Chain A
């Protein structure tokens, strides 16, 4: 018994004297709970929507006021018909609430009017929620005006899901999962490659040679580009043929953007490699530092707009966020580079930044 206790005592010493295990035991759970708590939300807040008001009468103005006042929606523009398609493609709005002509008249005379809710269903959950909340606001309005009426008014909603009529959640998941897989595989692979040389001791001989830092770094990235592209192709093929996810845009653009994203992930991995001393550290940083934020903050499951502001800001530095937008744009919305140039440039910039930083951080000496 004494031996057993003596052994347990020793294990406690080891745990408390190792900074890394302390961090895992206490630090990580706190960080994760905060992150999960704030990021995971099925509610919507301040979703950008637009209003299309063909009547512009008393009733519609009243309803529109209620909508603007609610915390769920942020009314962006009051558009005309022609601009709807473009606004959706650009991703500026997630829904359009369309009031038909002579709305108030129809209510008064026929006791019935129709509101059409057109939603971007590339995020099916959000789309459903938007329709639901819109309904709630309409019911609230009806409740107020129906108080002293014998024959109550009725407003029915017609919902029109675009890009994903059947609300298939796989349309949402596939781009997201593809992003995560490419990010993880690319980053983890390259993150251990430099640290492995350090651990095995071969780094020393590489340094005492004419090889330049950029040759080493680029040399370690190139093999993985090819392999990751094969990965990406397989994922896309599986999505198309097994899950029926469409590719409405240009395949060529899809390939190009995928390669760009892969490059950014590889570069991120190399950066991690230059700052880690051991493969274990590198893998931990890749998994914890990349996987978690990518899943939570890339916007593929949980809408970014619903998160608290600090998290929204942080999500901007995650390459995955921009790639998810690009993927959805090309595959589901069928848009071209004209609508996605901003995201593309951001990804390019990030890649160059990571590569440049890696070259800078690459130690030309052992200290």
Chain B
């Protein structure tokens, strides 16, 4: 009766030589859920995420994303997910429209659909005046919102967000999260990594990775009462300091 799992991970492991970056992690993410994947730098989050988006092969264990296996069907996975990272999202020397057209083409959308989506996106984000401006000239907050929308052009089942809100002002950050809420409400699953602990509170459930293992996995509310603290930052501190 419940929603189906869009991501299923079982004992997923990734080792580099004798260093184990991801140590037998297991979890599931339901459709329409906002799942927060937290952990300090070097804890293994990025490595784990790379396996889920199909660009890194696991050493052992199983995982499936949008129903496709991460070992054998990475191409299908890539077709059915969206990806946005803080480090790279859009081409600074292309205009907003050119970026949309390019990524739409990469996702295999037909020209009429790309046209339609372009108009939709520009209207929704109020970019009428800057549609033909180079993305590099836009403020960081706008770039983030545009790249989020671009990652959703092909209506993927899951969208992976890698540290999406670094550095922007609090208002823009919240506007971005409102976009995430809307997307989740429409049925897209959102898998987000962040090191802003206060943002983890927006998630339905969070997992915290420490040294390659998942040390906590629950709703923010439950974690806070479990560790007897009032915010997620303190949950993390308690976990990290042991």
Asked whether any CB of A lies within 8 Å of a CB of B in the complex, the reply is: yes
A6 at the interface (CB under 8 A from B): yes
B98 at the interface (CB under 8 A from A): yes
When distances are taken between beta carbons in the complex, the residues of chain B under 8 Å from A252 are: none
Q: Smallest CB–CB gap between B185 and chain A, Å? A: 31
Q: How far is the CA of A273 from the CA of B98 in the complex (A)?
A: 37
Q: Smallest CB–CB gap between A229 and chain B, Å? A: 43
When distances are taken between beta carbons in the complex, the residues of chain A under 8 Å from B102 are: 6-7, 9-10
Q: Is the CB of B91 within 8 A of A3?
A: no
Of A2, A5, A6, A10, which is within 8 A of B91 by CB? Answer: A10
Q: Smallest CB–CB gap between A104 and chain B, Å? A: 79
Q: How far is the CA of A18 from the CA of B92 in the complex (A)?
A: 11
Q: Smallest CB–CB gap between A195 and chain B, Å? A: 22
Q: Smallest CB–CB gap between B93 and chain A, Å? A: 5
Q: Which residues from 1 to 58 on chain A have a C-beta closer than 8 Å to any C-beta of chain B?
A: 2-3, 5-7, 9-10, 13-14, 17-18
When distances are taken between beta carbons in the complex, the residues of chain A under 8 Å from B106 are: 3, 6-7
Binary flags per residue of B95-122, CB closer than 8 Å to A gives 1, else 0: 0001001100110100000000000000
When distances are taken between beta carbons in the complex, the residues of chain A under 8 Å from B108 are: 2-3
When distances are taken between beta carbons in the complex, the residues of chain B under 8 Å from A2 are: 105, 108
Q: Smallest CB–CB gap between A7 and chain B, Å? A: 7
B94 at the interface (CB under 8 A from A): yes
Q: How far is the CA of A31 from the CA of B106 in the complex (A)?
A: 39
Q: Is the CB of B93 within 8 A of A14?
A: yes
Q: What count of chain A residues pass the 8 Å CB interface test?
A: 11
Given contacts A3-B106, A6-B106, contact A18 B93 (CB under 8 A): yes
Q: Is the CB of A6 within 8 A of B93?
A: no
Q: How far is the CA of A229 from the CA of B93 in the complex (A)?
A: 46
Q: Binding site of A, secondary structure by majority: helix, strand, loop or mixed?
A: helix
Nearest A residue to B111 via CB reads: A2
Nearest B residue to A2 via CB reads: B105
Nearest B residue to A17 via CB reads: B93
Q: How far is the CA of A18 from the CA of B136 in the complex (A)?
A: 13
When distances are taken between beta carbons in the complex, the residues of chain A under 8 Å from B98 are: 10, 13
Q: Is the CB of A6 within 8 A of B105?
A: yes
Kindly name the residue among A5, A10, A13, A14 whose own CB sees the greatest number of chain B CB atoms within 10 A: A10
When distances are taken between beta carbons in the complex, the residues of chain B under 8 Å from A10 are: 91, 94, 98, 102
When distances are taken between beta carbons in the complex, the residues of chain B under 8 Å from A7 are: 102, 105-106
Q: Is the CB of A13 within 8 A of B93?
A: yes
Q: Which residues from 8 to 67 on chain B have a C-beta closer than 8 Å to any C-beta of chain A?
A: none
Q: How far is the CA of A10 from the CA of B92 in the complex (A)?
A: 12
When distances are taken between beta carbons in the complex, the residues of chain B under 8 Å from A3 are: 105-106, 108
Of A5, A13, A18, which is within 8 A of B94 by CB? Answer: A13
Nearest B residue to A5 via CB reads: B105
Q: Smallest CB–CB gap between B182 and chain A, Å? A: 28
Q: How far is the CA of A2 from the CA of B113 in the complex (A)?
A: 14
Q: How far is the CA of A332 from the CA of B98 in the complex (A)?
A: 64
When distances are taken between beta carbons in the complex, the residues of chain A under 8 Å from B105 are: 2-3, 5-7
Q: Smallest CB–CB gap between B222 and chain A, Å? A: 43
Binary flags per residue of A250-283, CB closer than 8 Å to B gives 1, else 0: 0000000000000000000000000000000000
Q: How far is the CA of A18 from the CA of B91 in the complex (A)?
A: 13
Q: How far is the CA of A14 from the CA of B136 in the complex (A)?
A: 13
Q: Smallest CB–CB gap between A128 and chain B, Å? A: 55
Q: How far is the CA of A6 from the CA of B106 in the complex (A)?
A: 7
When distances are taken between beta carbons in the complex, the residues of chain B under 8 Å from A6 are: 101-102, 105-106
Q: Smallest CB–CB gap between B231 and chain A, Å? A: 33
Q: Smallest CB–CB gap between B76 and chain A, Å? A: 16
Q: How far is the CA of A13 from the CA of B106 in the complex (A)?
A: 16
Nearest B residue to A16 via CB reads: B93
Q: How far is the CA of A277 from the CA of B94 in the complex (A)?
A: 24
A residues with a Cβ closer than 8 A to B are: 2-3, 5-7, 9-10, 13-14, 17-18
What are 10 A-B pairs at a CB distance below 8 A?
A3-B106, A7-B102, A7-B105, A7-B106, A9-B102, A10-B102, A13-B93, A13-B94, A14-B91, A18-B93
B residues with a Cβ closer than 8 A to A are: 91, 93-94, 98, 101-102, 105-106, 108
> What are the 7 tightest A-B residue pairs by CB atom distance, in nearest-first order?
A6-B105, A17-B93, A10-B102, A3-B106, A13-B94, A3-B105, A6-B102
